[in-house]
């Protein structure tokens, strides 16, 4: 019986040998120079396993789903701070209301993720209304498509999972700055303690003085995390994680269509719409706690108990640009209304517990890898009745005059949502022979959800039972190749009606979604290749136009997205590693009872995206050239499909230099994003019933140094 704690140095050494040699782990004939082994041991774009594709960590090659993994090296080389900077490396992902200074939102495969259910840390659900810190993350995983088996209520687009760093002997410090004078300092400290080194600790600390390229959009961030691993005995291990972040930054409103049908022109991405001196930074305090106890009963059976809490408190006092005298859009001449928006003490909390048993056995001539478990989750939302008070008028070309803030009082906090979810689940991988496998699973969800309006009046009370099946057939013509076909059913949280709707702020009932997918994966000569063809259907939710200022927010018809995804990652040559992806998506609204919304591509979903990240080792020892490119075809900026923004290609360059200074291993990095200073609209989606347009960042540069002691 082997201890549960993995022997990290040997595991990483084996992975490094495989990646560098361009062959599988079975190739024992390759001899590498010691310095090259060291380089690869802590680097690489290619991943072999992920947690997010199933109920526990599994081989990507044998996972019958489309999964992208963003490694620690990619995060370091890109010098990323936010999830948007990570996910731009995947062509299936787009931003969907991600203003500077606010928490980010995304769409995957053309469907928006939900902050209530689409984000996890180590497989445990967190409140997504936060920009999760990356300093203590080993990798970021993205499951594209339905995840009902893994998480119950979730969006059909996908699931993001952050994997935290585990304890190891490490002492490092990083500093960085950008052309705006940003100040950033982070430390990573860890080690194993005790007579038998059975207790491991790791702490990450970071402080950032945020300096934005947008005027009046600076801020600051403080972050702290602790990870603890306790090898209680050879069969039992306890893992604990805690992370806290305080972030504050002035938020930057998005543009809207001029007159409802024209794009703004000649605007500077550095302009801060509706800026007022009395506005305050958006403050976001987030706490994520998680614990897992793992016990190995014998060589074949394991048990896991886990529990987590995630809490986010948001204080938003902003000067906001929205609409004009012409309607819920900017005026034809560029005018917009200035609002005093206040939503303090917006508190969101998720508590979750899970028990799981997994094991291997043979029965009826076939082998089984069975996982069974149960889970419970409670999600609450407490809000004050915030307001949005008109204060004056500005213009996108001439700016915003100084206006007085509102003196309207803010009411007390009230419970808006109490959602309880209970689940029973199982998944069984049945192996018939060397070529054929099937994965059959399901989660029975019991949902008990209550809502209240802003006046504390009880609203919807939903009690629902739903069986969410997931089945896949896998064919392996050879050990390094997998073909699969899968079906999944999902349950998603209902949307929230916009403030101007007749049913303002009403949270609609959950909706069902369904997915069919076929795919192929292959590991070949140091590279991993994948292709997936999918179709997803979900109920369409929108404010139905009826000629009145207060339309009703409804669920009507469906959105059907069909697409093809291609991916490649790993060592293309002994000196070049890449991560590349492309996605072609056809997104259509059907039977919505609003003819203008049908028969064309859905809003903010381009038909084609592509992304590439590359790392080339130059002949100079320790020096590498970094590069990237992002392409997006044109996309519609209105649900009616009458306004289209052009496509764009953005190029990034950078370098990495590993050296030794004063006896300490040091890494210097320089990145320049959007090196050609391209002007483009990165996000033209809708949010709570309104359409917004956000410009892409201009040319930006960042320089960092990391020292290991």
28 has pLDDT over 80? no
How far does the chain reach from its first CA to its final CA, in angstroms?
Answer: 36
d(Cα 642, Cα 458) in Å, to the nearest integer? 39
359 has pLDDT over 90? yes
Which residues neighbour 329 within 8 Å (Cβ) at sequence distance 6 or greater? 256, 257, 258, 259, 260, 323, 691
pLDDT band at residue 34 under the 50/70/90 scheme: very low
Q: What whole-number percentage of the chain has pLDDT above 70?
A: 94
Hunting for tokens 């007749």 — which residue is that?
A: 502
User: Which pLDDT value is given to residue 2?
Assistant: 39
Which residues neighbour 499 within 8 Å (Cβ) at sequence distance 6 or greater? 388, 505, 688
Token pair, residue 510, equals: 């959950």
Q: What whole-number percentage of the chain has pLDDT above 90?
A: 79
User: Which pLDDT value is given to residue 39?
Assistant: 35
Strand partners, 486: 472, 517
**What are φ and ψ of residue 150, in 5° steps?**
-75, -40
**What are φ and ψ of residue 11, in 5° steps?**
-65, -45
Give kind and range of the element (H or E) at residue 18.
Answer: helix 8-21
Q: Are 102 and 84 in contact (CB under 8 A)?
A: no
**What are φ and ψ of residue 100, in 5° steps?**
-60, 135
Region of residue 157 (left: phi > 0; alpha: psi -120 to 50; beta: else): alpha
d(Cα 626, Cα 621) in Å, to the nearest integer? 15
pLDDT band at residue 706 under the 50/70/90 scheme: very high
Q: Are 449 and 455 in contact (CB under 8 A)?
A: no
Domains of the chain, by residue range, sit at 49-708
Torsion of CA 431, 432, 438, 442, to 10 degrees: -70
User: Which pLDDT value is given to residue 364?
Assistant: 87
User: Which pLDDT value is given to residue 12?
Assistant: 33
Token pair, residue 586, equals: 């056809």
| Span 611-638, pLDDT tens digits | 999 999 999 999 999 999 999 999 999 9
Q: Are 314 and 287 in contact (CB under 8 A)?
A: no
Kindly report the average pLDDT of the chain as a whole number.
Answer: 91
Q: Which 3-state string (H, E, C) describes 574-613?
A: CCEEEEEEEEEEEEEEECCCCHHHCCCCCCCCCCEEEEEE
Alpha carbon 550 to its chain centroid, in Å, reads 33
181 has pLDDT over 50? yes
Q: Please tell me which residue, 378 or 544, carries the higher pLDDT value.
A: 378
Q: Nearest Cα to 397, choosing from 335, 321, 337, 338? A: 335
d(Cα 467, Cα 423) in Å, to the nearest integer? 10
- Alpha-carbon distance values, 613 to 88, 91, 431, 651 (Å): 10, 12, 36, 10
Q: Are 25 and 12 in contact (CB under 8 A)?
A: no
Q: Nearest Cα to 310, choosing from 287, 334, 343? A: 287
pLDDT band at residue 586 under the 50/70/90 scheme: very high
362 has pLDDT over 60? yes
Of 480-489, 504-513, 597-606, the least confident: 504-513
Q: Please tell me which residue, 65 or 498, carries the higher pLDDT value.
A: 65
Query: Long-range contact list for 508-511, CB < 8 A, 24+ apart?
Result: 508/460, 508/541, 508/553, 508/554, 508/555, 509/460, 509/462, 509/464, 509/555, 510/153, 510/447, 510/449, 510/462, 510/464, 511/538, 511/539, 511/541, 511/555
User: Which pLDDT value is given to residue 48?
Assistant: 87
585 has pLDDT over 70? yes
Q: Are 513 and 489 in contact (CB under 8 A)?
A: yes
Can you tell me whether residue 41 is helix, strand or coil? Answer: helix
d(Cα 389, Cα 149) in Å, to the nearest integer? 43
Strand order in the sheet with 111-112: 93-95, 106-108, 111-112
Give kind and range of the element (H or E) at residue 509.
Answer: none
d(Cα 565, Cα 88) in Å, to the nearest integer? 15
| Span 142-156, pLDDT tens digits | 999 998 888 888 889
Hunting for tokens 């590993």 — which residue is that?
A: 658
Q: Are 357 and 372 in contact (CB under 8 A)?
A: yes
User: Which pLDDT value is given to residue 690?
Assistant: 84
| Span 396-410, pLDDT tens digits | 999 999 999 999 988
Q: What is the pTM of this model?
A: 0.91
27 has pLDDT over 50? no
| Span 338-347, pLDDT tens digits | 999 999 999 9
Q: Is the dihedral of CA 327, 330, 332, 335 positive or negative?
A: positive
Q: Nearest Cα to 184, choosing from 215, 218, 222? A: 222
**Average of pLDDT values for 219-234?**
97
**Average of pLDDT values for 253-279?**
95
d(Cα 517, Cα 565) in Å, to the nearest integer? 11
Which residues neighbour 230 within 8 Å (Cβ) at sequence distance 6 or greater? 198, 199, 200, 237, 238, 239
Strand partners, 91: none
CATH number of the domain located at residue range(s) 49-708 in this protein: 2.40.170.20
d(Cα 533, Cα 545) in Å, to the nearest integer? 34
User: Which pLDDT value is given to residue 527?
Assistant: 93
Strand partners, 336: 394
Token pair, residue 27, equals: 């190739």
| Span 640-680, pLDDT tens digits | 999 999 999 999 999 999 999 999 999 999 999 999 999 99
d(Cα 224, Cα 274) in Å, to the nearest integer? 34
d(Cα 345, Cα 348) in Å, to the nearest integer? 9
């Amino acid at each position: 019986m082997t201890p549960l704690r993995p022997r990290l140095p040997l595991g990483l050494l084996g992975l490094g040998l495989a990646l560098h040699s361009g062959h599988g782990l079975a190739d024992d004939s390759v001899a590498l120079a010691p310095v090259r082994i060291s380089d690869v041991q802590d680097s690489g774009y290619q991943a072999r396993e992920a947690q997010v594709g199933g109920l526990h960590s599994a081989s990507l090659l044998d996972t019958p789903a489309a999964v992208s993994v963003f490694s620690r090296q990619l995060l370091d080389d890109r010098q990323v701070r936010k999830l948007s900077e990570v996910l731009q490396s995947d062509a299936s992902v787009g931003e969907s209301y991600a203003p500077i200074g606010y928490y980010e939102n995304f769409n995957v495969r053309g469907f928006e993720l939900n902050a209530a259910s689409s984000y996890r840390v180590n497989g445990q659900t967190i409140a997504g209304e936060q920009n999760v810190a990356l300093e203590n993350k080993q990798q970021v995983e993205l499951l594209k498509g339905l995840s009902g088996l893994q998480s119950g209520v979730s969006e059909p687009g996908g699931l993001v999972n952050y994997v935290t760093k585990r304890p190891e002997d490490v002492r490092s410090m990083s500093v960085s700055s950008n052309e705006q004078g940003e100040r950033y300092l982070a430390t990573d400290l860890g080690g194993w303690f005790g007579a038998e080194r059975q207790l491991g600790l790791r702490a990450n600390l970071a402080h950032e003085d945020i300096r934005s390229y947008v005027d009046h959009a600076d801020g600051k961030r403080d972050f702290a995390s602790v990870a603890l691993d306790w090898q209680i005995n050879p069969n039992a291990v306890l893992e604990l994680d805690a992370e806290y972040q305080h972030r504050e930054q002035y938020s930057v409103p998005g543009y809207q269509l001029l007159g409802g049908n024209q794009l703004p022109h000649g605007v500077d991405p550095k302009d801060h719409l509706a800026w007022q001196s009395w506005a305050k930074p958006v403050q976001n305090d987030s706490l994520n706690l998680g614990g897992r106890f793992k016990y190995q009963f014998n060589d074949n059976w394991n048990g896991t108990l886990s529990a987590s809490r995630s809490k986010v408190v948001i204080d938003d006092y902003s000067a906001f640009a929205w609409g004009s005298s012409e309607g819920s859009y900017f005026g034809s001449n560029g005018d917009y209304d200035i609002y005093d928006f206040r939503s303090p003490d917006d508190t969101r909390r998720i508590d979750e517990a899970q028990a799981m048993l997994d094991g291997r056995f043979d029965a009826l001539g076939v082998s089984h890898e069975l996982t069974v478990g149960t889970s419970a989750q409670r999600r609450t939302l407490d809000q004050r009745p915030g307001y949005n008070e008109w204060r004056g008028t500005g213009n996108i070309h001439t700016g915003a005059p100084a206006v007085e803030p509102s003196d309207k009082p803010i009411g007390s906090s009230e419970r808006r949502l109490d959602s309880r979810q209970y689940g029973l689940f199982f998944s069984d991988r049945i192996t018939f022979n060397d070529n054929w496998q099937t994965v059959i699973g399901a989660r029975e969800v019991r949902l008990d959800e209550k809502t209240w309006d802003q006046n504390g009046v009880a609203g919807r009370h939903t009690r629902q039972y739903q069986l969410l099946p997931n089945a896949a057939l896998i064919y392996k013509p050879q050990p390094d190749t997998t073909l699969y076909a899968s079906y999944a059913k999902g349950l998603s949280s209902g949307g929230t009606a916009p403030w101007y709707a007749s049913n303002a702020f009403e949270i609609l009932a959950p909706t069902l979604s369904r997915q069919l997918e076929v795919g192929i994966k292959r590991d070949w000569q140091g590279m991993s290749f994948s292709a997936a063809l999918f179709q997803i259907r979900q109920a369409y939710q929108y404010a139905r136009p009826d000629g009145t200022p207060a339309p009703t927010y409804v669920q009507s018809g469906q959105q059907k997205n069909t697409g093809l995804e291609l991916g490649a990652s790993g060592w293309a040559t002994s000196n070049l590693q890449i991560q590349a992806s492309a996605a072609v998506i056809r997104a259509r609204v059907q039977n919505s009872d609003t003819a203008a919304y049908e028969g064309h591509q859905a809003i903010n979903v381009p038909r084609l995206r592509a992304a590439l990240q590359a790392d080339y080792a130059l002949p100079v020892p320790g020096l590498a050239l970094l590069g990237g490119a992002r392409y997006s075809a044109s996309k519609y900026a209105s649900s009616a499909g009458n306004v289209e923004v052009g496509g764009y290609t953005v190029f990034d360059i950078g370098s990495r230099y590993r050296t030794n200074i004063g006896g300490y291993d040091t890494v210097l990095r320089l990145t320049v994003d959007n090196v050609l200073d391209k002007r483009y609209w990165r996000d033209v989606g809708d949010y709570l019933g309104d359409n917004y347009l956000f410009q892409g960042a201009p040319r930006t540069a960042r320089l960092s140094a990391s020292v290991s002691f």
